Amino acid sequence: MQQIRDTKDLKLMANTIRQDIITMLSESGSGHTAGSLGMADIFTALYFKFLNIDPKRPRSQDRDVLILSNGHICPVQYACLARAGFFPLEELKTLRKIGSRLQGHPHRETLPGIETTSGPLGSGISQGCGMALADRLDKRKRKIYIITSDGEHDEGNTWEAIMFAVKYHLDITVIIDRNRIQIGGDTEKVMPLRSLKKKYRSFGWKVIETQGNDMDQIIWAVKKAEKMEGPRMILAHTVPGKGVKSIEGNYQWHGKAPSQQEAQQFLEELEKERFRIIAEKK
């Protein structure tokens, strides 16, 4: 798949992905808005700049892997896959509808480009560890990225996988969506996580901290991670609901979809942002 090299073009693609997300969710009437919008920049960078993937050969043995552990933000992944040519764009409007391949949480056997089935939180890092260990046994070299949420770190099996990755010095990159919200409110009130940076380092991981809604910062962080050996984590500080000012940072939009009227307002705001990006000097 041809990569997007220009940062401005990546920003425009991220804006397109956000508009796709709003359209999908308003059409379905249910789904997760805040996290999907907040991770649009990171998903865009991975799918359109860094991942070695081919929509014509979705199960190629030499493909890179992206595991979405917090599967509820699958609208952003579906939008990227459709824009990358894995399935028709028109299918995005079938999100969460009966008989659709675009389920509320991704299903590996249903849609090309989906690597794992995710619903219950906390399994992604373990799945990535298993793939990395299998690749070592098969003498296969490829990139494995695992997207996980900060709220998932309430799950005990997440920490088991973190220990396992260090013991076996696995070649994986974990990206944490540090948006500080979960369905019950602020992560630090629901179950205080405090410094994930210090915790991962204490387990033996290499850690890179970045702004997850700044395309230049994202590119810098991923490039830096690619040069490292062993397990590494990118701590990406994101704004839930990014791109729509009225819902940014509001945990109540974690699992809420916009109405048709709200969607129209959100899309108009994103279209104005699109024109601002186009007007930016290179």
pTM strictly above 0.85: yes
Residue percentage of the chain with pLDDT more than 90: 96
**Percentage helix, strand, coil for the chain under 3-state DSSP, each rounded to 5:** 50, 10, 40
Residue 219: the pLDDT is 98
pLDDT band at 114 (very low <50, low <70, confident <90, very high): very high
pLDDT in tens, 41-71: 999 999 999 999 999 999 999 999 999 999 9
Judge whether 96 and 135 are in contact, CB under 8 Å. no
pLDDT band at 35 (very low <50, low <70, confident <90, very high): very high
Q: CA-to-CA distance for 175 and 137, rounded, in angstroms?
A: 24
pLDDT in tens, 174-216: 999 999 999 999 999 999 999 999 999 999 999 999 999 999 9
Token pair 């024109």: residue: 275
Q: Average pLDDT, stretch 248-268?
A: 97
Q: Average pLDDT, stretch 77-103?
A: 97
pLDDT band at 90 (very low <50, low <70, confident <90, very high): very high
pLDDT in tens, 160-178: 999 999 999 999 999 999 9
Residue 260: the pLDDT is 97
pLDDT in tens, 119-154: 889 999 999 999 999 999 999 999 999 999 999 999
Residue 2: the pLDDT is 73
Token pair 């969607």: residue: 263
The verdict on domain 7-279 having CATH code 3.90.1150.10 is no
Nearest to 35, CA basis, from 260, 244, 270: 244
For the chain, what are the domain ranges? 7-279
Q: Average pLDDT, stretch 18-43?
A: 98
Rg (CA), the chain: 18
Strand (E) positions, the chain? 65-68, 144-149, 173-178, 181-182, 185-186, 206-211, 232-237
pLDDT band at 231 (very low <50, low <70, confident <90, very high): very high
- Starting at the earlier edge strand, list the strands of the sheet with 232-237: 65-68, 144-149, 173-178, 232-237, 206-211
**82 Cβ contact partners less than 8 Å away, ≥ 6 residues apart:** 20, 88, 89, 91, 92
Judge whether 48 and 13 are in contact, CB under 8 Å. yes
